[in-house]
Each structure stands twice: as structure tokens, then as C-alpha cells.
Amino acid sequence: MIAAPERSEVAPTRTRRIAVSSWRIMRKHPTGAVGLVILILILLFILSAGILTPHRYDRTLSGKAAPMMSRGFDDELLVLGGDELGRDILTRLQHAGRTSFVIGLAAPLLGVTLGTIIGIVSAYRGGIVDLLVQRVVDVLISLPGLVLAMAVTLALGFSVWGVIVALSLNVVGGSSRVVRSHALTQSQLEYVQAARALGASDLRIIFRHLLPNSMAVSLVLFTVGVGAAITAEAGLSFLGLGVQPPTPSWGNMLTFAQQYFRFGAHIAIIPGLTIAIVVFAINLVGDSLRDILDPHLRGRG
Amino acid sequence: MPLLEIEDLKTYFYSDDAVVKAVDGITYDIEEGETVALVGESGCGKSVSSLSILGLIPSPPGRIVDGEVKFRGTDLLQLSASEMRRYRSRRIAMVFQEPMSSLNPVINIETQLTEGMMTQLSLTKRQAGDRALELLETVGISDPERRLKQFPHEFSGGMRQRVMIAIALSCEPDLIIADEPTTSLDVTIQAQILDLMQTLTRERGMALLLITHNLGVVARYVERINIMYAGRIIEHGASTDIFEKPSHPYTVGLLNSIPRIDRDTRSSLDPIPGQPPDLARLPAGCHFAERCRNAIDKCEREYPTTVEVEPKHTSACWVAEAVYNDNALQLSHA
């Protein structure tokens, strides 16, 4: 048998290096690590919809606002109780999480992507293009977010996609402005000039050179956007302009709970608390990510 | 026919209340395979003139107002943007001043090195990768295979400049413009980089336009020198002629202000007094008159015509002959 090589002789593999460096980063940013753990747990919870509980999210199983750990009509165990229509809250929380997360991820993804491209093009082209684009962005930013989102969902219909588009519009303006300022400094650097001297086209410079350099900024904008989008979706749903039943979302669970929460406060507290915890966790991760990706802010704030 | 002919090139920058004449009618040429220097102090328009050749002047505020840039007879200024792109790096490549910022920090060396070859020469990724490896070896980077996968921050300044040279060589251009390629490097590295550029361009029969503010640097490397001052070329000639028999007071001043090993070590350096003029408010007469020791009344009023003091040695100075004779006389005494 060949003796196992000494540990120090083993060349660190790529995965190992990544594991070591991510462990180091986690140690340096414990709050971010906590946020990440919470998020992972919540994601597991959401993804286990249909596995964790045997119930359906749209079936009445008990009386209105049944208390936690109570039994339903057929003696089913309702761990978190029943909602205003006697549906299992635990199951609904999982399914609603899907909607909320899809919207929470897709809206800022769409918004930040658009904002990033607009910002870079605006900064790179400069001159009249920059001027015009930035005035449109001014208009977009000056509109109150929730009002804009309400108007757009009314126009597009209350589907998941409608809500995503509506909420992404809130992100486009702000993110394009941040990315533009970053791209402005980048486009003055010599590597852009060097790429042009190499015969690179404008499109190539924008997508191959400026875009990767703006990724750090966009990523931070995205994480901040996720928390905001989940709250905004809850807000829209609360006003009845978001995702419509029977599709559950954390926001519309809250909406319908408000009429019945005298019978059992838990039907409002549980989705409310979930939103609060998720947004908190995302913000923890986002803050740490900003510190990690932006060396200028390191040690400040 | 020369490889590159620049005729009366004028590049101005326009602001709200002034026109900055960064390049104000310069004329020079470069033969095939020749090494030529463009020397001048900071802000005299040498970089702007080189960016004008490749059509890289930021516009607005800059604009090429007049002139011709003929590359093998084709006027580059008349080309459309996409035609111009095909000249860049395939015919004329450029090495920039700042190796620290001329490479994209978030893209690895291989991608940056192969980018030009893939777009300009339509090589496949594989072919370009093989050539990239060769090129890195050529410019003297050891362990090129590992180095290709690395990012610019893993390279030192001198090595980055070597990478920039490899990128410039990658599309086998006929002319490389090196805009102060060694300014931000250590003196020992400076010599290495210049030697490297000289050998590589000679080997490949490429012409080299060396732009620098350091007359001492170019002495060993170039065949002809153009001295630029405040947007114009004030003296032109073969390298040895310029060094031995300068015929413009500014060139004399430049030569006196650099330490030379063949001079008395106890004598102090003799700097040129004053500041170069504001390019937005150029004087009516000779731009150098204010700082010139040999200035006569006429200098203040009228810009000097260019005279040929000896074959292939020109000077834009009213007293060029006198300055030339003076220096030539000193030479014959020495």
C-alpha cells in the first residue's frame, strides 16, 4: 500500500482553496454569516413545501383562525394553526415563500440588470445620450415607488409577472444612477482606451470590459434590492394590488389575516414575522457583501 | 513611400471659453521598420498627436481640425469608425503609459491577450491561446502557462508592461506607438523594456514611434528624433545630429538639463527657466520666445519658419543657423 501523502504536500485543489477563503471571509463577517445561515434555513423550509407537511395550501382543514398545535376536522395536526379560512398556516407559509422569493429575486434581478446596462451605456456614450437618459432616470426616481408599482400592476394585471415588472421599475432608476457613476470613473481608465486602441467595438467594451467591472456594484444593489422587493411585494399585496388568491404570498397572507386576527393574532404575526426575519437576514448578507466587494468602504460604516 | 506620413495635423480641444491647441500643425513621417522618437515635455501635445493617429481623441471636446494621417497612402482621418477599427492593432498598435491601469483588473491575462487576435485576425480561441503562450514567452515572462490564467494584480509594473507589449505585438502590426512606455517604471526596468521593444520590433521589421519626455532615454534607441514644444514640432533630425548639433534653443536647453556622463561632474545642471505657455493662449510669435536665451525682437512677433540647417535636419527658429553653427563649432573643437 502506498502511504498517504503528507498533508502539506497535497496541492490545494480549487474547491479546497475556495472553501478555505470563504471560511476566512465568514469569520471576518459574522453578521453576514448569520444572515446567510438564516436565509439558507428559510430557503430549505420553502423548498420542502409538500414534504414537510402532508397538507394542501388551499384546503380548509379547520375552523377559522385555529390556534397553533390544534387539530383540524379530520384530526390533522396544524402546527402553526389555521388561517382565516381554516387552511394550514405552515403549509401556506411555505408556498407563499415561493411566490415571495420568486418576486423578491426576479424583480431586483430584472431591475438591476436593466439599470446596470442603462448606467454603463449612459456613462460610456456620455454627451447628449447621457443627458437624455439621465433625465428619464430623474423622472423614474422622482415617482414614489409604491404609487408607480400600483399603477403598473393595475395596468399589467395582478399576476406574478405584473408584480415583478412593477417592482423592478423601482430599482432601475436608482441602480442605473449608481452604476453610471461607477462606470464613469472606469471608462476614464486607460484599459478602456487600450481596448479601443486594440480595435474593440463599443459593444465589446461595454459588455466585455465595463460590465464585469461593475459587477461588484450591481451585486450589492441586487442584494439590497431583494429585501426591498420582498417588503414592497408584501406592501402591494397588503393593499390588494399584488399577487391575488388563491396564490399565497406572505403579503396577501397578511392582508386577509387583518380581518380575523382578533380571533387569533398568530395568523397575522406569523407571516409578518417571517417577512421581518427574511428581510433582516438579507440585509445582513447585503451589508457584509458590500464590505467584502467594495474595498473603499472597508472598515467604515 | 513612408509607412506613416503626418501632414499638418491639428487637434484642438474646445471648451466653453477657449480653444486649446494641443496639436497645432505637426508634420513628420516614419519609414517602414524605423524607430522614431517624439520628444517633448508634459502637456506639449505628444500624446494627443499619437491618439489622433488612431482616431482615439475623445470627441467632444476634442476634434481633429485639419491635416492628414497617411498610412501607406491611405488617409486614416477619412476612414469610417468601423474601417478605422480594422487598422487598430492590426496595422498600428499602441503601448500606453500606465501599465497599472492599461489592463482590465477583472479579466485574466489570457482573455486580454487573445481578445485582439480573435477579433482582428479571426483566430479560434485555441489558436489565439497558443499564440498568447508564445508571445508571453517572447516578452520574457517565465512560466507563461500559469501566468496566462492570472489577473493583472498578480503582475508587477514591469511585467504588466511586458504583457502590454505582447498585446501590441499580437496582431503583427506594422507600427507600434509607445506612449511613454517606461515613465512609471524603475530605471533598471526602463532599460529592459526599451531593449525588449527594440529587439522585438527590429526582428519583425515593425516601425516604432517612441513618445517620451526623456531625451536621454531615446538616445540609444531611435534613428530620428522630433522635438515637440507647445503643440508644434520645433526640431527634427537624425538622432546623432540632434544630440551633437542641436539647432533650436529649446533642444539645447533640454540637453543641458539632463545629466551626462561625458560632462564635468562638478558643473550643475542648467534647467530651462519659466513655464511652457498655456495652449489656450499661445503667443503670437515663437512659443518658446519667452523662455529663450537667444530670442531676438522678431521672435516675439512672428512664428519662425522652418529652416534646414543641414540635410534632413530642420529647425523652427529664427536664429537656427547661429545656434547650429555654435554647437557644430563646439563639436569640432572637442
- pLDDT tens across A46-100, in order? 888 777 777 777 777 777 767 776 776 777 776 677 777 778 778 888 888 888 8
By C-alpha distance, the chain B residue nearest A191 is B102
A300 has pLDDT over 70: no
B-chain residues near A200 (CB < 8 A)? 85, 115, 119
* Cβ-Cβ contacts under 8 Å, A213 against chain B: 104-106
A161-184 burial code (b ≥16 CB/10 A, e <16)? ebbbbbbbbbbbbbbbbbbbebbb
Q: Which residue of A has its CA nearest to B164?
A: A194
Nearest Cα of chain A lies from the Cα of B13 at a distance, in angstroms, of 15
Please report how the helices A89-125 and A160-187 are oriented relative to each other, as an axis angle in degrees rounded to 10.
30
Question: Per the structure block, which three cell numbers stand in for B214?
Answer: 526623456
Phi, psi of B132 (to 5 degrees): -60, -40
pLDDT digits 0-9 by tens, A160-182? 888 888 889 888 988 999 999 99
Q: How confident is the model at residue A294 (pLDDT cuts 50, 70, 90)?
A: low
The ipTM estimated for the assembled molecules is 0.76
Task: Report the CATH fold assignment for A35-295.
Answer: MetI-like fold (1.10.3720)
Cβ–Cβ below 8 Å for B106 and A193: no
Residue B89 at interface with chain A, using a CB cutoff of 8 Å: yes
- Which chain B residues have a beta carbon less than 8 Å from that of A11? none
Query: What pLDDT score does A112 carry?
Result: 93
Chain B contact for A198, CB < 8 A? yes
pLDDT, residue A298, reads: 46
What's residue B216's pLDDT?
76
Mean pLDDT score across all residues of chain A:
82
Chain B residue with Cα closest to A210:
B104
* Facing residue for A190 by CB, picked from B85, B90, B102: B102
Alpha-carbon distances of B188 from A167, B194, B207, B211, rounded to whole Å:
58, 10, 24, 19
Ordered by where they begin, the domains of chain B are 4-222 (3.40.50.300), 248-333 (no CATH)
> What was the pLDDT predicted at A12?
63
Residue of chain A nearest B52, judged by CA positions: A197
Looking at the complex, does the CB of residue B324 fall below 8 Å from at least one CB of chain A? no
Q: Does position A284 have pLDDT exceeding 50, yes or no?
A: yes
- Any CB–CB contact under 8 A between A43 and chain B? no
Q: Does A73 touch chain B if contact means CB atoms closer than 8 Å?
A: no
Asked whether the beta carbons of residue A197 and residue B119 sit closer than 8 angstroms, the reply is: no
**SS in 3 state form for A220-265?**
HHHHHHHHHHHHHHHHHHHCCCCCCCCCCCHHHHHHHHCCCCCCCC
**Which residues in chain A have their CB less than 8 angstroms from residue B101's CB?**
189-191
**Whole-Å CA distances, A180 to A109, A170, A201, B57, B67:** 17, 17, 20, 22, 36
| pLDDT at site A299 | 44
Judge whether B59 is closer than 8 Å to chain A, CB to CB.
Answer: no
Instruction: Please write the tens of the pLDDT for every residue from A224-277.
Output: 888 888 888 888 888 878 787 778 888 888 888 777 777 778 888 888 888 899
Q: Are B96 and A208 an interchain contact pair (Cβ–Cβ within 8 Å)? A: no
**Percentage of residues in chain A having pLDDT higher than 90:** 12
B98/A contact by beta carbon, under 8 A: yes
Q: Does A188 touch chain B (CB under 8 A)?
A: no
- Chosen from A120, A189, A196, A198 to mutate, greatest number of chain B CBs within 10 A: A198
List the pLDDT tens digit at each of the 334 positions of chain B.
Answer: 888 889 888 888 888 888 888 888 888 889 888 999 999 888 788 888 888 888 888 877 888 888 888 888 888 888 888 888 888 888 898 888 887 788 888 888 888 888 888 888 888 888 888 888 888 888 888 888 888 888 888 888 888 888 888 888 888 889 999 888 887 778 888 888 888 888 888 888 899 999 988 887 777 888 899 999 888 898 999 888 888 888 888 888 888 877 777 766 666 777 788 888 888 888 888 888 888 888 888 888 888 888 888 888 888 888 888 888 877 777 777 6
pLDDT at A24 over 80: yes
Quote the CA–CA distance of B223 and B237 in Å, as a whole number: 9
Q: Is B85 on the interface with A (CB under 8 A)?
A: yes
Does residue A111 register a pLDDT over 60? yes
For residues B107 and A209, the answer to whether their CB atoms sit within 8 Å is: yes
Distance CA B169, CA B50 (A): 18
Angle between helices A266-293 and A211-238 (to 10 degrees): 170
Q: Is A115 in contact with A174 (CB distance < 8 Å)? A: yes
**A197 interfaces chain B, CB cutoff of 8 Å:** yes
Q: What is the pTM of this model?
A: 0.76
Determine the longest span between alpha carbons in chain A, in angstroms. Answer: 76
- A 134-153 near B (Cβ less than 8 A): none
Q: Is the pLDDT of residue A2 over 60?
A: no
Residue of A nearest to B86 (CA): A199
Over its C-alpha atoms, chain B yields an Rg (Å, rounded) of 21
- State the smallest CA–CA distance between residue A191 and chain B in angstroms: 4
DSSP A5-57: PPGGGSPPPHHHHHHHHHHHHHHH-HHHHHHHHHHHHHHHHHHTTTTS-SS-T
Say yes or no for a CB contact (<8 Å) between A197 and B106: no
* Residue B69 · residue A163 · CB < 8 Å: no
3-state SS string over chain B? CCCEEEEEEEEEEECCCCEEEEEEEEEEEECCCCEEEEECCCCCCHHHHHHHHCCCCCCCCEEEEEEEEEECCEEHHHCCHHHHHHHECCCEEEECCCCCCCCCCCCCHHHHHHHHHHHHCCCCHHHHHHHHHHHHHHCCCCCHHHHHCCCHHHCCHHHHHHHHHHHHHHCCCCEEEEECCCCCCCHHHHHHHHHHHHHHHHHHCCEEEEEECCHHHHCCCCCEEEEEECCEEEEEEEHHHHHHCCCCHHHHHHHHCCCCCCCCCCCCCCCCCCCCCCCCCCCCCCCCHHHCCCCCHHHHHCCCCEEEEECCEEEECCCHHHHHHHHHHHHHHC
The predicted pLDDT at position A115 comes to 93
Give the pLDDT score at B263: 67
Which of A130, A131, A193 has the most B C-beta neighbours within 10 Å, making it the best mutation to test the interface with B?
A193
Q: Do A197 and B96 touch (CB under 8 A)?
A: yes
DSSP one-letter code for A205: I
- Residue-wise pLDDT for B2-31, tens only, equals 888 898 888 888 888 888 888 888 888 898
Q: Are strands B175-179 and B92-95 parallel, antiparallel or unpaired?
A: parallel
| Strand pairing category for B4-14 and B62-71 | antiparallel
Confidence of residue A119 (pLDDT cuts 50, 70, 90): very high
CA atoms within 13 A of residue B127's CA, in its CB half-sphere: 10
